């Protein structure tokens, strides 16, 4: 099984096969518009602008599961992201990434990756405390912990890395290695 085996919903409700992204390097990210990490949209757009011509795609999945920080309809979320951050990468319908209603793509991503920690920054320490309140065993499971968790997929559709919301530094090098 690889990423090309999955279908997802577009903002308009239509079904999109990830087979259409075969041969590209993908960054799959769950996002939110009212999160402390929301400014990462600027960094994500910069990566997309820099690498899209080399076969890089960002697949954005808004998610309201963490602090209810992605309120609004799919179109309201998209208008906010294009208007405020100028995103031009694909943004899909709002999803759940954990639990029984998680979409199959995210079930596969979380079952096949491990949580690597948030690091030691002040934001990482705050996030650890917040996550621990809802998931005492968060360090030992693959669930998505918060908004802006990123999964890097190589050109063969295989997962090559997971990047927690607090880790943008190593992401660029990992993308470049895949390209």
Q: What is the pLDDT along the chain (179 residues), one digit of tens a residue?
A: 999 999 999 999 999 999 999 999 999 999 999 998 999 999 999 999 999 999 999 999 999 999 899 999 999 999 999 999 999 999 999 999 999 999 999 999 999 999 989 988 888 999 999 999 989 999 999 999 999 999 999 999 999 999 999 988 899 999 999 99
Nearest to 16 by CA among 63, 45, 51, 57: 57
Burial code (b: 16+ CB inside 10 Å, e: under 16) for 153-171 equals bbeebebbbbbbbbbbeeb
Give the Cβ contact number of residue 76 at 10 Å: 13
Count structural domains, the chain: 1
pLDDT of residue 172: 94
pLDDT of residue 167: 84
Nearest to 21 by CA among 42, 7, 9: 7
Nearest to 48 by CA among 22, 64, 35, 29: 29
pLDDT of residue 89: 98
| Burial of 138 per CB tally in 10 Å (0-12, 13-18, 19+) | middle
Please tell me the distance from the alpha carbon of residue 175 to that of residue 134, in angstroms, as a whole number: 31
State the DSSP code for 163: E
Task: Please give the biggest Cα pair distance in the chain.
Answer: 42
Q: Supply the CATH number for residue 113's domain.
A: 3.40.30.10
Q: Which tokens belong to 168?
A: 């943008």
- The residues that are catalytic are 35
Domain that residue 29 falls in: 3-178
pLDDT of residue 173: 95
Q: Is 26 helix (H, G, I), strand (E, B) or coil?
A: strand
Q: Which tokens belong to 31?
A: 């996002």
pLDDT of residue 159: 98
């Amino acid at each position: 099984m690889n990423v090309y085996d999955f279908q997802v919903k577009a903002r308009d409700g239509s079904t999109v096969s990830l087979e259409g992204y075969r041969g590209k390097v993908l960054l799959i990210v769950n996002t939110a518009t009212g999160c402390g990490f929301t400014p990462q949209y600027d960094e994500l757009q910069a990566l997309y602008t820099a690498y899209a011509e080399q076969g890089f795609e960002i697949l954005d999945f808004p998610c309201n599961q963490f602090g209810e920080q992605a309120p609004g309809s799919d179109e309201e979320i998209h208008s906010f992201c294009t208007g405020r951050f100028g995103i031009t990468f694909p943004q899909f319908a709002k999803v759940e990434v954990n639990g029984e209603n998680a979409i199959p793509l995210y079930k596969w991503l979380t079952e096949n990756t491990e949580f690597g920690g948030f690091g030691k920054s002040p934001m990482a320490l705050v996030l650890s405390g917040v996550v621990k309140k809802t998931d005492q065993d968060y360090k030992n499971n693959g669930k998505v912990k918060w908004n802006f968790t990123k999964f890097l997929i190589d050109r063969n559709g295989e997962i090559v890395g997971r990047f927690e919301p607090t880790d943008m530094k190593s992401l660029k090098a990992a993308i470049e290695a895949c390209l």
